[in-house]
Structure 1
Amino acid sequence: MSDVEVEQRGEVAWIRLNRPDRMNAYDRAMGAELTGAVRDASAAGVIVITGTGRAFCAGGYLAELADPDPDELRGMFFASLDLFDAIRLSPRPVIAAVNGAAAGGGNELVVACDLAIAARSAKLGQTGPRVGSAPVLGGTNLLAVSVGEKRAKEIAMMCRRYTAEQALDLGWVNAVVDDDELEAEVTRWADELLALSPRYLEISKTSSNMWWNACRDNFVSGLGMLVQAIGSPDMREGAAAFMEKRPPRFPGRAQ
């Protein structure tokens, strides 16, 4: 079974992250597979990204941070940027169908999508400073366009979890529905988009990417800083604590 499943429903391409055993967290190979699926779906009218099981996406696979291979981890970081670029450069509207937890890079995946509809049970938030990383691909910058700078800093730095309803109130997602209504609601939004001009939808999307484009240099510099921190004591301790389900004990702190 593939880590990424694609189902064509009429003119809508449903792309499903399929690693429920790790909450759909992606490694370098899975990130590349997901990017390819988004690019290959450009002939569809609408693209939907969702997850299998109880999570939408938990971001990058954290086992790689606890004992990192620098080349592999660098590849995973930049695979995330490739994925988000593919979403933003796709000529088609991309909807995040947030079926469950969207954490870390998984929340940044929500931010990268053009629209987001969340199941009522979904929780969203960043994990970076808690696990020895930082959300440099949208969580520290582009999210501020939706929720405001102070709130975006709270989300990026405090590593709290937010309900779908809170995310809706903040402008983080477009709609919230009961869990068993998620796919039907996403389909309704997709059908509404399919009734519109694909040419002018693409123009509208491209024009709205001005904030993404303005942030992109910051994404690249942030990734550069993350690469330089690969293998740092904070990265190793944060990832180990996460995998061991214990509070982190970061170096230089009184215990």
Structure 2
Amino acid sequence: MADIEVEQRGDVAWIRLNRADRMNAYDRAMGEQLTQAVRDSSGSGVIVITGSGRAFCAGGYLANLADPDPAELRGMFHASLDLFDAIRTSPRPVIAAVNGAAAGGGNELVVACDLAIAARSAKLGQTGPRVGSAPVLGGTNLLAVSVGEKRAKEISMLCRRYTAEQAMELGWLNAVVDDDELEAEVTRWADELLTMSPRYLEISKISSNVWWNACRDNFVSGLGMLVQAIGSDDMREGAAAFMEKRRPQFPGRTPS
């Protein structure tokens, strides 16, 4: 079973994360495969990213945080930035078809895509401080452009879950449809994009990256801080608690 599947539907490339057993959370190798799939699909008119099973993407694979290999984890962090850069610099519009949960880096994947359409049952949110990490690749910075600074801080610091309808109201998504209508709705948006000039769509897209470009130095510095914190007590405890489905007890916190 391939971790990433690519299906060509006419002039639309559908890229599917295919690790339903772990809610499509990606490790370094899977992140690199997804990046390559985006790059290889630049000859299509539109690119769609979606997930298999009940999740869109749960971000980075948390087992890597509970007992981290520093080199491997550093590679996964940077693979995330490479993926988001590939989406933002692709000449083609990239649509997130959010079929289910989009959490942590999976929500940042939604933020990185040009457009986002969600199934009504989908839930979105960040996980960073709850699991011993921080959403430095969109959750703490670029998301604020869509939802406002105060709301972005709420999302990234409190790690709450938001329904698709709530995310739509906040400006996080472009559309929400019934679950069984998701692929048809995404196809309608893709077909409409295919009637436009590819050249001027690319110009419009790259021009719209002004906020992404403004945040990029912050992404890199944030990654540097995450790398320096690899193996910290907070990282190990947060990831272990998540995998064991219990409340984390971070150093300095009194159990309640």
TM over 0.5: yes
Any residues of structure 2 matched to 1:165-180 within 5 Å, and which?
Answer: 165-180=165-180
Any residues of structure 2 matched to 1:81-100 within 5 Å, and which?
Answer: 81-100=81-100
Equivalence for 1:144: 144
State the shift of 1:253 in Å. 1.2
**2:60 equivalent to 1:60:** yes
**2:191 equivalent to 1:195:** no
Equivalence for 2:11: 11
For residues 132 and 232 of structure 2, the distance between their equivalents in structure 1, rounded to whole angstroms, comes to 9
**2:114 equivalent to 1:114:** yes
For residues 254 and 244 of structure 1, the distance between their equivalents in structure 2, rounded to whole angstroms, comes to 19
The AA in structure 2 aligned to 1:145 is: V
State the shift of 1:158 in Å. 0.3
The AA in structure 2 aligned to 1:172 is: W
RMSD (Å), alpha carbons: 0.3
For residues 171 and 213 of structure 1, the distance between their equivalents in structure 2, rounded to whole angstroms, comes to 20
TM-score in terms of structure 2 length: 0.99
Render the CA deviation track for 1:40-85: whole Å, top value 9, x for unaligned: 0000000000000000000000000000000000000000000000
State the shift of 1:254 in Å. 1.7
The AA in structure 2 aligned to 1:177 is: V
Q: Secondary structure at the match of 1:26?
A: coil
| Identity over aligned pairs, percent | 89
State the shift of 1:176 in Å. 0.1
State the shift of 1:241 in Å. 0.1
**2:45 equivalent to 1:69:** no
For residues 253 and 173 of structure 1, the distance between their equivalents in structure 2, rounded to whole angstroms, comes to 36
Which ranges of 4 or more aligned residues in structure 1 deviate by more than 3 Å?
Answer: none
For residues 204 and 89 of structure 1, the distance between their equivalents in structure 2, rounded to whole angstroms, comes to 12
For residues 192 and 29 of structure 1, the distance between their equivalents in structure 2, rounded to whole angstroms, comes to 34
Render the CA deviation track for 1:220-254: whole Å, top value 9, x for unaligned: 00000000000000000000000000000000112
State the shift of 1:161 in Å. 0.1
State the shift of 1:35 in Å. 0.1
For residues 163 and 252 of structure 1, the distance between their equivalents in structure 2, rounded to whole angstroms, comes to 33
**2:156 equivalent to 1:130:** no
Unaligned runs of 5+ in 2: none
For residues 119 and 199 of structure 1, the distance between their equivalents in structure 2, rounded to whole angstroms, comes to 30
The AA in structure 1 aligned to 2:41 is: A
For residues 2 and 254 of structure 1, the distance between their equivalents in structure 2, rounded to whole angstroms, comes to 44
The AA in structure 1 aligned to 2:126 is: Q
The AA in structure 2 aligned to 1:158 is: L
Q: Secondary structure at the match of 1:7?
A: strand
For residues 191 and 30 of structure 2, the distance between their equivalents in structure 1, rounded to whole angstroms, comes to 29
Equivalence for 1:49: 49
For residues 149 and 24 of structure 2, the distance between their equivalents in structure 1, rounded to whole angstroms, comes to 29
**2:249 equivalent to 1:244:** no
For residues 228 and 187 of structure 1, the distance between their equivalents in structure 2, rounded to whole angstroms, comes to 42
The AA in structure 2 aligned to 1:153 is: K
For residues 58 and 254 of structure 1, the distance between their equivalents in structure 2, rounded to whole angstroms, comes to 29
For residues 154 and 104 of structure 2, the distance between their equivalents in structure 1, rounded to whole angstroms, comes to 14
State the shift of 1:7 in Å. 0.1
State the shift of 1:11 in Å. 0.2
For residues 203 and 217 of structure 2, the distance between their equivalents in structure 1, rounded to whole angstroms, comes to 23
Q: Secondary structure at the match of 1:165?
A: helix
For residues 79 and 196 of structure 1, the distance between their equivalents in structure 2, rounded to whole angstroms, comes to 32
Q: Secondary structure at the match of 2:124?
A: strand
